[in-house]
């Protein structure tokens, strides 16, 4: 295992060596390593919880937000869910070697386009210790070595989890260095990692806009940003309003501190008078603060128990990661689409409607990784999408978009076979 006391360069070079061997490991060996990791998580749950309690106490003392504390917190249920996620990844097909194209060419050559591992993937993440295991499992299954760089807020939790992932992998027969760990917390370390062009093939940051901006300034290696989620729910004129109420409340309140939670509610003017009082009352009962535009404010008084204040334009551009939601009224589907494309972050957007044409127009018009019809944005998740887990949700378009799972951690190569062929 590449330990925390090693330099960034040493950890990355060890991962590079491991990646060459890992790319040739058969599926059964990789799966055995992941099953051993899942067992290790269950067996060492008390140790994980003790480490996490130290991080939680430090987080409270340093004033971490409720959203970050929620992300940081582990309990027996969450640890069991992480282990189950690893086992789900085991059940998935190995993407390495999958033939995705090819055939006999007119010149007589036989060509196959096959998936292959990217090589070394570095993952930088904030106070989310579950990422340590999710990312490690996905990388190992897809034949990639991983370098983990968590935040200092989760230092104790990440150290134990990374140790479990690394030790079980090597004990099962995977190459030493396939799971590498950095200390975390120092900008100099992040800068050095982001410039390991000859050792790291891809960097995936999971965090807010601050982390994204820092890496845009520092990185000289390819980066897939799993960044902010300014997600919207649009309630169309034809929406089933009971269904819309359930979707909005779920999208905002089920777990408000995550990137697929709704941050803005848009309502068509024809549905506003019938819908807004009830949904504002329900959001108020869930202790959600509403920041409403002028037209929504005029209807807010009819919702007893609603907590409402005027919205600024900046509120519609914000990822709150908190029990706060911006609310606006629009005059048309086209205005809703324009609003989403202007303020959204390209993560997850939803329309509630019974009009098939409106649903289709929203799907085609909204530029986001995931577009929902009559469903909560909270479903944007690798586990919910059948990927077992995810490293993050990409808001980019190249080369991965949406949840980053096994196939998104691969590239491809062309295997070409001939029989003495030469080009004339």
Asked if 411 and 372 sit in the same domain, the reply is: no
The set of residues, in sequence order, having a beta carbon less than 8 Å from that of 210 and lying 6+ positions away, is: none
pLDDT at residue 304 is higher than 70: no
- Look at residues 7, 34, 5, 2 and name the one whose alpha carbon lies nearest to residue 146: 2
Asked if 400 and 340 sit in the same domain, the reply is: no
The domain of 362 spans 231-379
**Overall size of the chain counted in residues:** 424
Asked if 184 and 272 sit in the same domain, the reply is: no
In degrees to the nearest 10, what's the CA dihedral of 224, 407, 155, 161?
A: 180
CATH of the domain at 334: 3.40.309.10
Asked if 222 and 236 sit in the same domain, the reply is: no
CATH of the domain at 194: 3.40.605.10
Asked if 277 and 137 sit in the same domain, the reply is: no
Q: What digits encode the pLDDT tens for the residues 266-293?
A: 999 999 999 999 999 999 999 999 999 9
Asked if 55 and 190 sit in the same domain, the reply is: yes
Asked if 321 and 406 sit in the same domain, the reply is: no
Helix axes 45-62, 27-43, angle to 10 degrees: 70
Q: How confident is the model at residue 1 (pLDDT cuts 50, 70, 90)?
A: very low
Q: What is the mean pLDDT of the chain?
A: 94
Q: DSSP per residue over 143-206, as a string? A: T-EEEEE--GGGHHHHHHHHHHHHHHHHHHTPPTTSEEE-----HHHHHHHTT-TTT-SEEEEE
Positive or negative torsion for Cα 210, 390, 158, 6: negative
What is the count of structural domains for the chain? 2
Q: What digits encode the pLDDT tens for the residues 358-392?
A: 999 999 999 999 999 999 999 999 889 988 888 98
For residue 424, is it within any domain? no
- Look at residues 62, 85, 233 and name the one whose alpha carbon lies nearest to residue 153: 62
Could you tell me if 39 and 167 are in contact, meaning their C-beta atoms sit under 8 angstroms apart? no
* Helix then strand then coil, % of the chain, to nearest 5: 45, 20, 35
Could you tell me if 347 and 230 are in contact, meaning their C-beta atoms sit under 8 angstroms apart? yes
Q: What digits encode the pLDDT tens for the residues 33-86?
A: 999 999 999 999 999 999 999 999 999 999 998 888 988 999 999 999 999 999
Residue-level pLDDT at 182: 93
pLDDT at residue 240 is higher than 60: yes
pLDDT at residue 87 is higher than 90: yes
pLDDT at residue 186 is higher than 80: no
pLDDT at residue 329 is higher than 80: yes
For residue 247, is it within any domain? yes
Task: Record the pTM.
Answer: 0.90
């Amino acid at each position: 295992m590449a330990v925390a006391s090693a330099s960034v360069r040493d950890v990355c070079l060890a991962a590079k060596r491991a990646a060459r061997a890992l790319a040739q490991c058969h599926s059964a060996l990789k799966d055995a390593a992941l099953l051993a990791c899942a067992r290790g998580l269950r067996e060492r749950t008390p140790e994980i919880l003790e480490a996490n309690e130290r991080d939680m106490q430090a987080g409270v003392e340093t004033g971490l937000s409720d959203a970050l504390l929620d992300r940081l917190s582990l309990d027996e249920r969450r640890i069991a869910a992480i282990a189950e996620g690893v086992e789900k990844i085991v059940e998935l097909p190995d993407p390495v070697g999958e033939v995705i194209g090819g055939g006999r060419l007119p010149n007589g050559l036989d060509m196959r386009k096959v998936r292959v591992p990217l090589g070394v993937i570095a993952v930088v993440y904030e106070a989310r210790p579950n990422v340590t295991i999710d990312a490690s499992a996905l990388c190992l299954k897809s034949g990639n070595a991983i370098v983990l760089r968590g935040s200092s807020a989760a230092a104790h939790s990440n150290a134990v989890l990374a140790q479990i992932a690394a030790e079980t992998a090597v004990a099962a027969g995977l190459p030493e260095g396939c799971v590498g760990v950095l200390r975390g917390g120092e900008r100099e370390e992040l800068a050095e990692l982001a410039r390991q062009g000859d050792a790291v093939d891809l960097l995936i940051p999971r965090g807010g806009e601050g982390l994204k901006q820092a890496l845009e300034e520092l990185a000289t290696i390819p980066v897939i940003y799993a960044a902010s989620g300014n997600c919207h729910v649009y309630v169309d004129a034809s929406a089933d309003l009971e269904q819309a109420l359930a979707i909005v409340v779920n999208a905002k309140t089920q777990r408000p501190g995550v990137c697929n939670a709704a941050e803005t509610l848009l309502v068509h003017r024809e549905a506003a008078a019938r819908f807004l009082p009830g949904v504002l009352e329900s959001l108020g009962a869930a202790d959600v603060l509403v920041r409403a535009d002028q037209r929504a404010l005029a209807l807010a008084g009819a919702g007893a128990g609603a907590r409402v204040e005027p919205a600024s334009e900046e509120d519609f551009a914000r990822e709150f990661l908190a029990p706060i939601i911006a609310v606006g009224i629009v005059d048309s589907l086209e205005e809703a689409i324009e609003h989403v494309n202007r303020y959204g972050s390209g993560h997850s957007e939803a329309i509630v409607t019974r009009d098939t044409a409106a649903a289709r127009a929203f799907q085609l018009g909204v530029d986001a990784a995931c577009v929902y019809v009559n469903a909560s944005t909270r479903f944007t998740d690798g586990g919910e999408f059948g990927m077992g887990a995810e490293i993050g949700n990409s808001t980019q378009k190249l080369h991965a978009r949406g949840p980053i799972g096994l196939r998104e951690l691969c590239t491809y190569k062309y295997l070409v076979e001939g029989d003495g062929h030469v080009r004339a």
